Chain A
Amino acid sequence: SQQGEEDPQALSIQEGENATMNCSYKTSINNLQWYRQNSGRGLVHLILIRSNEREKHSGRLRVTLDTSKKSSSLLITASRAADTASYFCATYTSGTYKYIFGTGTRLKVLA
């Protein structure tokens, strides 16, 4: 079952622009992770944010978490053609021992 809904489903931007993707979820969580998947390959872990954190940075990535709104956003700054991929959020809730994935956002960065 899908815990997270992501929007937009698809996003097309020009190289150099920023890309923002949003993830909403339904239940309380312990952490939320963002992943990238290139063209049907395995998933690459991008960043983990815990429920007691509000913002994290990693290179050109910025993730925010608002537990009151049960939402997170992933910002990719100064996008590159190589950022073209699908991006997924995944949430973990203590006691469930499993991660639940969102629906994903397909990002296309035009050179």
Chain B
Amino acid sequence: SAVISQKPSRDICQRGTSLTIQCQVDSQVTMMFWYRQQPGQSLTLIATANQGSEATYESGFVIDKFPISRPNLTFSTLTVSNMSPEDSSIYLCSVVGSSGGFQETQYFGPGTRLLVL
């Protein structure tokens, strides 16, 4: 299994500002994922972050709004830029373990709870 930590665990921010969320994994992983969970909702995938390449964004999410860095195999950051109250959500990073060539269990960090005023 993988142990994932995120910083900060929560934050309250003013609209128009930006927040960078860090995700640290205790082992090297190829693929990392960033999700958003709006209040009372399910998880929506923002982007997939692979080391050494540009992040792949899902429909409705753009790099200017959610720039992602992936400098090595254990670390990634997600920035929420020019925030508005609609960005208030829980942001979660995750990684996938692999076994025998199969995609296996997806592990999640504890999440970053963001409130934008």
Report the contact-size class of chain B (Cβ under 8 Å from the partner): 20 to 34
- Determine the distance from Cα of A58 to Cα of B106 in the docked complex, in whole angstroms: 17
| CB within 8 Å: A-B pair count | 62
Binding site of B, secondary structure by majority: helix, strand, loop or mixed? strand
- Which A1-41 residues sit within 8 Å CB-CB of chain B? 1-2, 30-31, 33, 35, 40-41
Given contacts A2-B42, A101-B42, A103-B42, whether A42 and B102 have CB atoms under 8 Å apart is no
Contact A99 B42 (CB under 8 A): no
CA A14 – CA B31 in complex, angstroms?
Answer: 41
Whether B25 sits at the interface, judged by CB under 8 Å, is: no
Is the beta-carbon distance between B43 and A98 smaller than 8 angstroms? no
* Residues of chain A within 8 A of B94, CB atoms compared: 43, 99
B53 within 8 A of partner (CB): no
Interface size on A, residues (CB 8 A): 26
Complex contact B102–A31 (CB within 8 A): yes
Tell me whether A98 and B59 are in contact (CB under 8 A).
no
Partner pick for A40 among B31, B102, B103, B113, CB 8 A cutoff: B113
What are 13 A-B contacts defined by CB distance under 8 Å? A1-B58, A30-B102, A40-B113, A42-B92, A42-B109, A42-B110, A48-B104, A48-B105, A88-B43, A92-B103, A92-B106, A97-B103, A101-B45
Q: Interface of B with A (CB < 8 Å)?
A: 31, 33, 35, 37, 42-45, 48, 58-59, 90, 92, 94, 96, 102-111, 113
